């Protein structure tokens, strides 16, 4: 699953993404594709604002303050990036509105019109495993308790309250799910982050987390299928050996000379992805009529870690926004010790999360390239995406 600069197939894939990248505007067309809504589960890589309600708390997340959101929204939205996330690009590619966060919509009673528009249940800091299970494994310093199981309960409760009020509502909800894209993940990365970074567990202890993490993802997929989901996209894990926070914790003495990433950490990411692929294979065998799409975070990200300048990126391993200690200034803004001059040329936004520029490369690799299995290009999500979005700059 690793990438290599010498691979002719990878070179062709990279060339395609390079050619398409500057031509895509991701401006929503009037009508595109056959999905009518998106439901998303995950963590900060796809959270569009579920923690925004904590902005008035004593410990608001960094995403409440500028320069988060500056690149596209020009103000903070609760996204842990300087702009759009992959889920935003996917929504725009379908001609759909950006996905509303469940905890924001849920402050009032959710109705079938809300449900029809789709919902985002992803929460920054979320884990695949429940808090009690992680505590048994020595992981206690969790930032949130919004695990995948909790998010799934939110969805099931919403479905029950909205869709079971009448036979007509039930039939409509079934139709909504049938025409929706359900994105499950990325999730599980925080389970490993807590173990690697906070607890400093050894690699064998952390590898023992992989089977239950993957099983939790598989169980959620199965439950969603039973509720009526027909098309699910399941992203794998990013190459954590290229993550600046991991590099700071584990040092740089074992860096790959070609890209600066730590090979053994990347091998762990690949181990998780291999186990996840096997889980998806088993689910496909049980539900052959369901479309389950694996989205390859690892290799699509390695495109710019291996050859950043091909994508207009000049810095892969340094952090654009370097935050100071978790203290609030008198103007209620989190301080930061430095902000890079050109965030659009950086991969890492704040050490754990990527910039909009990096997310855009991954989104295009999924939507237009060969980085999904089966290919999204062969399904309705990407019909006419190229002809719709390719415009002169």
Least confident of 7-21, 65-79, 224-238, 265-279: 7-21
Is residue 47 part of the annotated active site? The answer reads no
Q: Which of 58, 59, 77 is nearest to 68 (CA)?
A: 77
Q: How open is the CA angle 152-153-158, to the nearest 5 degrees?
A: 100
CA dist 227 and 178 (Å) reads 10
Name the band, by pLDDT with cuts 50, 70 and 90, for residue 390.
Answer: very low
- Band of residue 325 on the pLDDT scale cut at 50, 70, 90: low
Q: What is the mean pLDDT of residues 24-51?
A: 77
- Overall pTM surpassing 0.85 (yes/no): yes
375: in domain: yes
378 or 44, which is more confident:
44
Which residue in 3, 44, 46, 269 is the catalytic one?
44
Instruction: Verify whether residue 130 is a known catalytic residue.
Output: no
For the cut 50, the answer to whether the pLDDT of residue 391 exceeds it is: no
The answer to whether residue 345 sits within a structural domain is yes
Does position 123 have pLDDT exceeding 80, yes or no? yes
Flag whether 144 is in a domain: yes
Mean pLDDT calculated for residue range 114-128: 96
Phi, psi of 120 (to 5 degrees): -110, 115
* Average pLDDT of the residues in 312-325: 89
pLDDT of residue 336: 73
CA dist 190 and 182 (Å) reads 21
Q: What is the mean pLDDT of residues 166-195?
A: 95
Token pair 């690149």 is at which residue? 71
Question: Which candidate in 62, 296, 348, 353 is catalytic?
Answer: 353
Tell whether 1 is covered by a domain.
no
What is the average pLDDT across 346-352?
A: 97
Confidence of residue 334 (pLDDT cuts 50, 70, 90): low
Is 353 a residue of the active site? yes
**Inside any domain, residue 2:** no
* pLDDT tens-digit series, residues 360-379: 999 999 998 889 999 875 55
**390 inside domain:** no
The pLDDT assigned to 332 comes to: 40
Is 169 a domain residue?
yes
Average pLDDT score over the chain: 87
Q: Number of structural domains, the chain?
A: 1
**What is the domain-level CATH number for residue 62?**
3.40.50.1110
Mean pLDDT over 156-182 rounds to: 93
pLDDT over 70, % of the chain: 83
Is position 139 within any domain? yes
Structural domain of 34? 8-385
Could you tell me the two tokens for 55? 């902005």
């Amino acid at each position: 699953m690793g990438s290599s600069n010498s691979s002719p197939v990878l070179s062709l894939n990279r060339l395609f993404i390079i050619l398409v990248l500057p031509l895509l505007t991701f401006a929503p067309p009037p009508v595109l594709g056959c999905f009518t809504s998106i439901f998303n589960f995950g963590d900060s890589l796809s959270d569009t604002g579920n923690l925004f309600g904590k902005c008035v708390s004593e410990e608001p997340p960094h995403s409440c303050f500028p320069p988060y959101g500056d690149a596209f929204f020009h103000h903070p939205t609760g996204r842990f990036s300087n702009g759009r996330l992959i889920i935003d690009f996917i929504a725009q590619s379908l001609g759909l509105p950006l996905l509303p966060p469940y905890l924001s919509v849920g402050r009032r009673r959710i109705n079938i019109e809300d449900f029809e528009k789709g919902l985002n249940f992803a929460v920054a800091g979320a884990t695949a495993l429940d808090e009690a299970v992680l505590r048994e494994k020595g992981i206690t310093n969790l930032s949130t308790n919004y695990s995948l199981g909790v998010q799934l309960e939110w969805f099931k409760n919403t479905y029950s309250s909205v869709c079971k009020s009448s036979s007509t509502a039930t039939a409509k909800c079934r139709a909504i799910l049938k025409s929706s894209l359900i994105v499950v993940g990325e999730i599980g990365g925080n389970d490993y982050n807590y173990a690697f970074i906070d607890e400093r567990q050894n690699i064998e202890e952390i590898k023992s987390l992989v089977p239950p993490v993957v099983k939790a993802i598989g169980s959620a997929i199965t439950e969603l299928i039973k509720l009526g989901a027909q098309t699910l996209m399941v992203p794998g894990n990013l190459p954590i050996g290229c993550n600046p926070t991991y590099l700071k914790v584990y040092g740089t003495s074992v860096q790959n000379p070609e890209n600066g990433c730590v090979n053994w950490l990347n091998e762990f990411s690949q181990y998780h992805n291999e186990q996840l692929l096997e889980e998806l294979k088993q689910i496909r065998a049980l539900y052959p009529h369901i479309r389950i799409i694996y989205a390859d975070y690892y290799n699509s990200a390695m495109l710019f870690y291996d050859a950043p300048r091909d994508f207009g990126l000049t810095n892969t391993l340094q952090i654009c926004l370097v935050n100071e200690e978790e203290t609030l200034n008198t103007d209620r803004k989190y301080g930061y010790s430095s902000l890079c001059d050109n965030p659009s040329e950086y991969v890492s936004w704040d050490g754990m999360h990527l910039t909009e520029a990096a997310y855009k490369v991954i989104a295009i690799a999924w939507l237009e390239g060969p980085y999904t299995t089966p290919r999204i290009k062969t399904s309705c999500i990407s019909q006419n995406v190229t002809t719709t979005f390719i415009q002169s700059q």
